[in-house]
Chain A
Amino acid sequence: MAERPEGSAAGSNKPALQLHVPEPRFRPGDAADFSHLAIPAAGQQPRPDEACHASETAPLCYDLVRVLGDDNQAHGPWDPKLDPDTLRTMLGHMVLVRAFDERMFRGQRQGKTSFYMKCTGEEATSVAAGMALASDDMVFPSYRQQGILIARGYPLVEMINQIYSNKGDKLKGRQLPIMYSSREHSFFSISGNLATQCPQAVGWAMASAIKGDSRIAASWVGEGSTAEGDFHSACTFATVYNAPVILNVINNQWAISSFSGFAGAERTTFAARALGYGLAGLRVDGNDALAVFAAQQWAANRARANGGPTLIEYFTYRAEGHSTSDDPSAYRSVQEGIDWPLGDPIARLRNHLIALGEWDEERHAAMDLAAAERVKEATREAEKNGILGHGLHHPFRTMFEDVFEELPWHLKEQAAQATRERLIKFPEGRPNS
């Protein structure tokens, strides 16, 4: 072993090194206090030209783009100036997403399916962002962007068929609930492996550019998953090839039980990561549907004009558990959800419409009721196709199809075995064998 330089021998006067292990501010039972969060007033953030150099977005990476103020009015240069009909449509989608989540969560508790994930509190980050894109722009979502499907008019019955893995499920019962896919709606197949969709979105955007197309791509990833290597690859490839892509990061503060500090949030923002790659970056109030729409639209215009990729951090809060398999009261304070300083995205948009004189409590209550009724109706319809484990599933042979384009000999042999086993188990035969 080499000798240490003089004065640095073990036991000299230097302090012992300490490993820093991040710790969230509030644990179960703690009162929440968000006074440390600098929440700027709405309308204070400049809106650079969409064609600007990426470095000009640097201040916005540490700021928070906000449009809806405490007075429920839209403020500043990021106001997308949407007409009341569009705002009501946006509100309607968000209300429907929440009603859908409520019902599906209950469905899981009733044993109709194995699993569900809500997006409560994050509805704006998928609905408003999705509405800012063209319907044929390709989206690469994570598992918490059901709002995009709903905003794109994907039938609720199809969503529920997938969640129940029944005989109506277009994915033939192969995928865990909520891992939707719809080519028709330019909604990429959801994977359980985190952040893999980020470089895929970049590749899709590169392909669009190779072919001289006009469509762009957008991906969504949670702040926790930005720690994956794929996220780094996506940022690098996006900037190297100036790919027409938007990399959305939903910073909802929690990755299951790990607070955002474990993804690096103690020292910087997720938007600021854009700067090191040479990407344009925006940090946005994720519970402000107008700001979300405006930011996504800014990035989409930039991408469409060959201005290049943008990384957007939507600052929000995961208001419920990670999934039906998770109990957040085991690791975080109940109070922090209640006191979250950016409020609730649905309430804020509703109050804005009311302040504009374009909405009222009665109509909103009716919208809530209609959404619940629509979901109930769709659930009833989907249940005709069966619920998980009740026999109404796709035939056994479909388990072997689509592994490859054609069935090779070994899968043919295994399919025959599965059918044989089923006949032994149910000699009298059963539907869908």
Chain B
Amino acid sequence: MIEAINEALDIMLARDPDVVVMGEDVGYFGGVFRATAGLQAKHGKTRVFDTPISECGIIGVAVGMGAYGLRPVPEIQFADYIYPGLDQLISEAARLRYRSACDYIAPLTVRSPFGGGIFGGQTHSQSPEAIFTHVSGLKTVIPSNPYDAKGLLISAIEDNDPVIFFEPKRIYNGPFTGYYDKPVEPWKRHKDSVVPEGHYRVPLGKARTVTEGDALTVLAYGTMVHVAEAVCAAKGVDAHILDLRTLVPLDIEAIEQSVERTGRCLIVHEATRTSGFGAELSALVTERCFYHLEAPVERVTGFDTPYPHSLEWAYFPGPIRIGEAIDKLLKD
């Protein structure tokens, strides 16, 4: 997946002279996860460059560059460190088009590795997507495989609205099923790892059907798509798994169609439970599909604690927690 992201950036840098890539360690070194490897050498220091360690500065100057007419793609090294840039994201980037009545826009794509499952402890594992989905004016995108990562990132960069692009770092190098004691598979053996060369788009706001099924609907994104898929396969559950891909704007049609058919809905995310994005999904499903529901909507999430180090696998919403929720949903 990291190569797919690198390719998307490379393609957009080549296609659009207004695209600039910037962030801590992204230039000469090529990024701590190698997402920008080789890009500075190829596109030059004024297109791909290192920045001071200042998230508020990175986002702030990107907003100014957007006002000028550039299309900045800033990187925040870990989503856990995006908070110093929140004022610039929430008060500025998200509202610039609205408050200026289109005088100025902020066509940024803020890339940031997110999510746990890597023994990252408290400050290298967080999933703060709900902070951003709550902000009007921001789009939030989370890919779950190389094909989508490249196509969604290209769409995000071409989009004229500010996009938060969270990359699940646990699956940078291969899908993760949540069975942490089993060997990790590389992407090359996965069906979604085939990434076409050149430019293509995966549209924002459209979910992807991972598996067709009638027993229940699973709503997931990022790493949890693979975990949910593995658990359903292991349990032999005929699940209709939707990879949401974009949280705002949400593909409400795909969700409604699926839940109206299955009558049961499981929501899975790594982020903490209370006021997490799952709460919004649960409310929407309940409001819009109430008369089709045959069981209460279930949420499987991280616990309401900071992300622990040693107890990572007790915290992570893995196969056991998901399995119990499925059993509960299907019990009558």
Q: Does A240 contact B (CB under 8 A)?
A: yes
B61 on interface, CB distance cutoff 8 Å: yes
Q: Is the CB of B68 within 8 A of A204?
A: yes
User: Can you sample 14 A-B contacts with CB below 8 Å?
Assistant: A183-B104, A191-B91, A199-B60, A203-B62, A203-B64, A203-B67, A208-B68, A210-B70, A211-B70, A230-B56, A230-B60, A232-B54, A237-B57, A240-B51
| Given A233-B60, A236-B57: A196 in contact with B99 (beta carbons within 8 A) | no
Among residues of B, the one whose C-beta sits closest to the C-beta of A405 is B160
From 100 to 159 in chain B, residues with beta carbon under 8 angstroms from any chain A beta carbon are 100-105, 136-137, 139, 159
- The yes or no answer to B183 lying at the interface (CB within 8 A) is no
Q: Are A206 and B99 in contact (CB under 8 A)?
A: no
| A404, closest chain B residue (CB) | B161
- A355–B88 Cα distance when bound, in Å, is 48
Chain B residues within 8 Å of A191, by CB = 91-92, 95, 99
The reply to whether B136 and A207 contact each other, CB–CB distance below 8 Å, is no
7 tightest Cβ-Cβ pairs between the two chains A and B: A203-B64, A199-B60, A203-B61, A233-B57, A200-B64, A207-B68, A408-B249
Residues of B within 8 A of A404 (CB): 97, 137, 139, 161, 249
Which chain B positions have C-beta within 8 A of A402?
Answer: 97-98, 101-102
Sample of 15 more A-B contacts, CB < 8 Å, known A203-B68, A233-B52: A138-B68, A171-B100, A189-B104, A196-B88, A202-B57, A203-B64, A204-B67, A207-B64, A211-B70, A217-B64, A229-B84, A233-B56, A240-B52, A404-B97, A410-B252
Q: Mark B298-313, 1 if CB is under 8 A from A, else 0.
A: 0000000000000000
Q: Which residues of B contact A408 (CB under 8 A)?
A: 205, 248-249
A175 CB within 8 Å of chain B = yes
CA distance in complex: A229, B52 (Å) = 14
CB distance from A227 to the nearest CB of B (A): 14
Is the Cβ of B61 less than 8 Å from the Cβ of A403?
Answer: no
State A209–B68 Cα separation when bound (angstroms). Answer: 11
- B87 on the A face (CB < 8 A): yes
Identity of the chain B residue whose Cβ is nearest the Cβ of A200 in the assembled complex = B64
Most buried by A among B20, B56, B64, B160: B64
**Taking beta carbons and an 8 Å cutoff, which residues of B are in contact with A?**
20, 46-47, 51-52, 54, 56-57, 60-70, 72, 84, 87-88, 91-92, 95-105, 136-137, 139, 159-161, 205, 248-250, 252
B155 to chain A, nearest CB (A): 13
CB proximity of A151 to chain B, nearest CB, Å: 19
A114 and B117 CA atoms in complex are apart in Å by 52
Cβ–Cβ < 8 Å partners of A198 in chain B = 60
Interface-central residue, B95, B100, B160, B248, by most chain A CB under 10 Å: B100
Q: Is A67 an interface residue (CB 8 A)?
A: no
Distance of A133 from chain B, by nearest CB (Å) = 16
Contact of B67 among A188, A230, A233 (CB under 8 A): A188
Considering the chains assembled together, what is the distance between the CA atoms of A403 and B57 in angstroms? 24
- CB pair B249–A189 under 8 Å, yes or no, is no
Question: For the complex, what is the distance from the CA of A240 to the CA of B46, rounded to whole Å?
Answer: 13
A181 at the interface (CB under 8 A from B): yes
Contact of A201 (CB < 8 Å), options: B57, B64, B97:
B64
Is A325 part of the binding interface, using a Cβ–Cβ cutoff of 8 Å? Answer: no
Q: Which residues of A contact B91 (CB under 8 A)?
A: 191-193, 196
Q: Which residues of B contact A217 (CB under 8 A)?
A: 64
Partner of A199, one of B56, B70, B137: B56
Chain B nearest CB, measured from A28 CB (Å): 34
Chain A residues positioned under 8 Å from B139 (CB to CB): 404
How far is B91's CA from A199's CA once the two chains are assembled, in angstroms? 14
**A182 interface hit (Cβ, 8 Å):** yes
Would you give the 0/1 interface string for A202-243, flagging 1 where the beta carbon is closer than 8 Å to chain B? 111111111100000100000000000110111011001000
Q: What are the interface flags for A150-164 relative to B under an 8 Å C-beta threshold, 1 for contact and 0 otherwise?
A: 000000000000000
Asked whether, in the complex, the Cβ of B61 is within 8 Å of the Cβ of A200, the reply is yes
Contact residues on A (Cβ < 8 Å of other chain), bracket = 35 or more
A189-B96, A199-B56 in contact; A204/B65 too (CB < 8 A)? yes
Residues of A within 8 A of B102 (CB): 402
Query: Are the CB atoms of A234 and B60 closer together than 8 Å?
Result: yes
Contacts of B69 in A (CB 8 A): 207
CB distance from B62 to the nearest CB of A (A): 6
Residue with the highest number of chain B CB atoms closer than 10 Å, among A200, A232, A236: A200
Residue A179 lies at the interface, judged by CB distance under 8 Å to chain B: yes
Contacts of A200 in B (CB 8 A): 60-61, 63-64, 67, 92
B205 near A181 (CB under 8 angstroms)? no
Nearest Cβ distance between residue A214 and chain B, in whole angstroms? 13
Contacts of B97 in A (CB 8 A): 402-405
Docked-complex contact A202 and B98, CB < 8 angstroms: no
Q: A165 to chain B: closest CB distance in Å?
A: 12
Residue pair A170, B92 in contact (C-beta under 8 Å): no
Q: CA separation between A264 and B158, bound complex, in Å?
A: 44
Residue A409 CB within 8 A of the other chain = yes
A415 to B52, CA, bound (A): 42
A175 to B161, CA, bound (A): 20
CB neighbours of B65 from chain A (8 A): 203-204, 206-207, 210
> Counting chain B CB atoms within 10 Å of each CB, which of A183, A193, A199, A208 scores highest?
A199
Choice from A192, A203, A236 contacting B63 with Cβ under 8 Å: A203
Q: How far is the CA of A230 from the CA of B159 in the complex (A)?
A: 27
Output the residue of B62, B67, B70, B97 with the most chain A CB within 10 A.
B67
Chain A residues within an 8 Å CB radius of B60? 196, 198-200, 202-203, 230, 233-234, 237
Tell me which residues across on chain A come within 8 A of B96, comparing CB atoms: 189
Residues of A close to B249: CB separation below 8 A: 404, 408-410
Which residues in B have their C-beta under 8 angstroms from that of A171? 99-101
Closest to B107 in A: A405
**In the assembled complex, A384 has its CB within 8 A of some CB on chain B:** no
Kindly list chain A residues whose C-beta atoms are within 8 Å of the C-beta of B136: 403
Docked pose: A408 CA to B216 CA in angstroms? 27
- A-side contacts of B250, CB under 8 Å: 410
Asked if A237 contacts B92 (CB within 8 A), the reply is: no
Quick one: CB contact mask for A172-188 with B, threshold 8 Å, 1 for yes?
10110001011100001
Q: Chain A nearest CB: distance from B281 CB in Å?
A: 13
| Residue of B with least CB distance to A183 | B103
Bound complex: CA A181 to CA B20 (Å)? 26
- The CA of A210 and the CA of B48, in the complex, are separated in Å by 11
Contacts of B87 in A (CB 8 A): 193, 196, 230
A189 adjacent to B99 (CB under 8 Å)? yes
How far apart are the CA atoms of A237 and B84 in the complex, in Å?
15
Q: Is the CB of A207 within 8 A of B52?
A: no
> Given the complex, which residues of B lie within 8 Å of A140, measured CB to CB?
64
Enumerate chain A residues within 8 angstroms of B99, measured Cβ to Cβ.
Answer: 171, 174-175, 179, 181, 189, 191
